[in-house]
Amino acid sequence: MIFKRFTATLLVALMIILSFSGCEENYKEAFIYIEFDRTAEILDPQLATTTEELTVCRSVFDTLLRYDGFGKIVPSAAESYSKDGLVYTFKLKKDGKWTDGTPLTADDFLYGIERAVSPETSAPYANSLFSIKGAEEIYGGKAELSSLGVTAVDEHTLKIELKRDDPEFLKVLTSAITMPCNRKYFEGCMGKYGLTLDTTPSCGSYYIKKWTSNEKFLIRLAKNLEFTGDFEANSMRIYYTCGEKDTLGMLENENTDLMYISTEDYDKIAAAGFEMVSTKDTCYALFINGDLDEEVRKALLTSVDHSGFKDKLPSTHSVADTIYPSIVGAEGAKKVTEYIKYAPEEAAKLYSELIKKGTDLSGITIKYPSDSAAAAVAKSVAAQWQQNLSLFINIEELSPAAATSTYNFGSYDILIAPFTATTGTISAYHAELGFSDTDIAKAEKALYEELHCYPLYFTSTNIASIHTVDNLKSCLWGGIVDVAMLIKKR
């Protein structure tokens, strides 16, 4: 489970015409600069968790399936696939290969999935694969790896047998958790796979040309000219850096084509006339520690009204009517009010009875991550408890890192925390919250009744453009930017 608040800045700067020997076509060399809010530490697809890490992995590794420019899931490393009952069969392209010349095979995809479900790996999004036969049991240490329902039939044929139908399974196959891993290469890395330039291979649209993280973080990608898939990179070089913060200045000076925009910068950049694209992917929720009495939790939750803080949210935010942000497409999700109804008079009576029985909530605190919206909502919730229950409560701001530990270790009375659907899948979103179940009804019940979770508001990932790039809206499927699909306008 990973707490994620992140912003990154996508910058596309200069174009020059290159002529390649033996090739009649001229290429415009678009330099794409992606400015990260924090550095990418792990480029092992089975272990990558942050948007920064997953964005780089998306560029460097291929997947069986991929989103096209219309949001449709299509074959990528696979040439075709079919489904017979609970068995998927994937036929791989015969000319796929790693940048060292090693063929990309079905066994590479098998080994990637084996690593993902092995308990020794502790892959954060392993639960995305629990619909595969044997995967959950293997991850839980209750079965041997040989029972996994994935088979490399031959060099270019992979079969995956599910234990149950999973409507999200094809979406999962576009994500990093199922990216391939060459056994021999991995074993030769001696525990450093995906941690350095020399131990991070490529079979995707780009390969890593440079990676430094000492004085200034920089990852430079170069177009993989040996890549034979349908998602050939349109831009020749990608630069990932961390440090630049003057987002509006970079846009106004036309030093960039597009970039990720924080909530704080959104309104001023939108007002300046730049094109904006947003994806609603994060839910901020209120959590009440399970150690508090059930009646206390009921009194607190039923005396919180969304309308009390609705007008305090910035334009990029909206009141959460369910626990699921729209990117996961959680059909059938129930409304918050079906679990918790605002009933201030009943809450006041209940709390008054609790006080008579000796309940003392003096000294308890709402902790919240350090951003202006979370601060405003925390103050609003505290004010509602003061008004409805005559309860005076402390509020405490935490850094994102401290908030991560606070949620993970349960070291809070009351906490406001954000959770992001980083890969656009329900299973990965549940993993953020600490659940392995992919069933919406079961997960909702657990969220409300076991985690005592109350959804507050949704936020979005936002991108600004100065109208020099095509395909901007067509490269953000699944919550991760596929920069290979960006096209510089000529």
pLDDT in tens, 218-247: 899 999 988 988 898 877 778 777 766 677
pLDDT over 50 at 392, yes or no: yes
State residue 159's pLDDT score: 98
pLDDT digits (tens, 9 = 90+) for 86-135: 999 999 999 999 999 999 999 999 999 999 999 999 998 998 999 999 99
Candidates 320, 326, 324, 419; CA nearest to 369 is 419
Span 404-415, average pLDDT: 81
Whose tokens are 């008054």? That residue is 352
**Encoded amino acid at 347, one letter:** A
pLDDT over 80 at 71, yes or no: yes
Span 451-474, average pLDDT: 78
Helix axes 440-449, 426-433, angle to 10 degrees: 20
Span 470-484, average pLDDT: 73
State residue 244's pLDDT score: 61
**Encoded amino acid at 129, one letter:** L
Q: Which residue has the higher pLDDT, 444 or 143?
A: 143
pLDDT digits (tens, 9 = 90+) for 38-66: 788 999 999 998 888 998 999 999 999 99
State residue 490's pLDDT score: 59
Span 367-387, average pLDDT: 92
- Side-chain-side CA neighbours of 454 within 13 Å: the count stands at 24
State residue 350's pLDDT score: 94
Phi, psi of 308 (to 5 degrees): -70, -25
- Side-chain-side CA neighbours of 150 within 13 Å: the count stands at 23
**Torsion angle (degrees, nearest 10) of CA 466, 470, 472, 475:** -150
